[in-house]
Chains A and B, each alone.
Chain A
């Protein structure tokens, strides 16, 4: 038994085996972090695009259509909010007009991807706002 205790063969293998899970966790964590940042960047891009489309119309179907261009069939959630340009009060989206303010918020669950296993860990959320410009700049300034 004493001889076995002083035998150093396979020591490196033992130490590596101890630390390998930790290394795996760290490398994997950074990989997931990179993926989360990329996912949020895409969501941000789509939110901004949806707001740009929405600022030219008071038809919310065009906004959802713009989002579906990127996330067709995906598990995505979004809210459209319109505020009066003067008072800042929330108004009906269908009443959105020139110089009002449109805000689109989007949420998408982020999946921790481990081989053969996916688990939703958190929602990625982005928000973007714009003044409504409409395409019709003549009175009565109603959006198309």
Chain B
């Protein structure tokens, strides 16, 4: 058994294997770390973009309420409700349903969400193709209107993917809602 007993150059192959293991550990640290960092960056951003979408819908309701208020209150003896600042005093549930179903409003809501995501992504890498918006989401009536925003992103890979540890893409979703009295 001369080969087994010969310890010449024993340390070099041992270190070579050890280095590979160490690089693998490093790849895990980098892959998992960058995955969680990006996830942590995207989660509040997506939530805020959902809020931006719902605020846009709130704008549409405000505009409609203002129109109705002008029509009702531009008379010599306006009704008592005209002193109200609550927009829901000048809206009917049917009008809110119409707004929800309006393609123009739906597009404006989506645009507001998308624009927030693209503008305020700290890494400025999110594109339209990474974003999926559902409005209205789980629609069961206008008492609670929801929007769902899903963003997909590919995490950075250590050494350009030579040691890809995390294979999944990052997917973050958030829901925002607005409650109405109807």
Contact = CB atoms under 8 A, between A and B. Distances in A.
Contacts of B7: 8, 11-12
Given A44-B40, A99-B55, A129-B48, A34 B11 contact: no
A33 B29 contact: yes
Given A23-B15, A128-B45, A138-B85, A33 B33 contact: yes
B8 interface: yes
Given A23-B18, A51-B44, A34 B29 contact: yes
Interface stretch (B19-27, B67-75, B102-110, B161-169): B19-27
A92 interface: no
Which secondary structure dominates where chain B touches chain A? Answer: helix
Contact of A8 (B8, B15, B51, B120): B8
Interface in B59-105: 85
B49 to A, nearest CB: 9
A19 interface: yes
Contacts, number: 80
Give the bracket for the number of chain A residues in contact with chain B.
20 to 34
Interface in A24-49: 26-27, 29-30, 33-34, 37, 40-41, 44-45, 48
B33 A37 contact: yes
Interface string A110-144: 00000000000000001111110100001100000
Given A30-B29, A103-B120, A128-B45, A133 B18 contact: no
Nearest to B59: A99
A128 B15 CA distance: 44
A48 B11 contact: no
Interface residues of B, number: 32
B12 interface: yes
A40 B120 CA distance: 18
A143 B125 CA distance: 32
A95 interface: no
A7 interface: no
B29 to A, nearest CB: 5
Nearest to A12: B11
B25 A30 contact: yes
B6 to A, nearest CB: 10
A48 B44 contact: yes
Contacts of B122: 126-128
A130 B8 CA distance: 64
B8 A11 contact: yes
A34 B85 CA distance: 54
7 contacts: A8-B7, A11-B11, A15-B15, A33-B26, A33-B30, A131-B55, A138-B85
Interface of B: 7-12, 15, 18-19, 22-23, 25-26, 29-30, 33-34, 36-37, 40-41, 44-45, 48, 51-52, 55, 85, 116, 119-120, 122
Interface of A: 8, 11-12, 15-16, 19, 23, 26-27, 29-30, 33-34, 37, 40-41, 44-45, 48, 51-52, 88, 99, 101, 103, 126-131, 133, 138-139
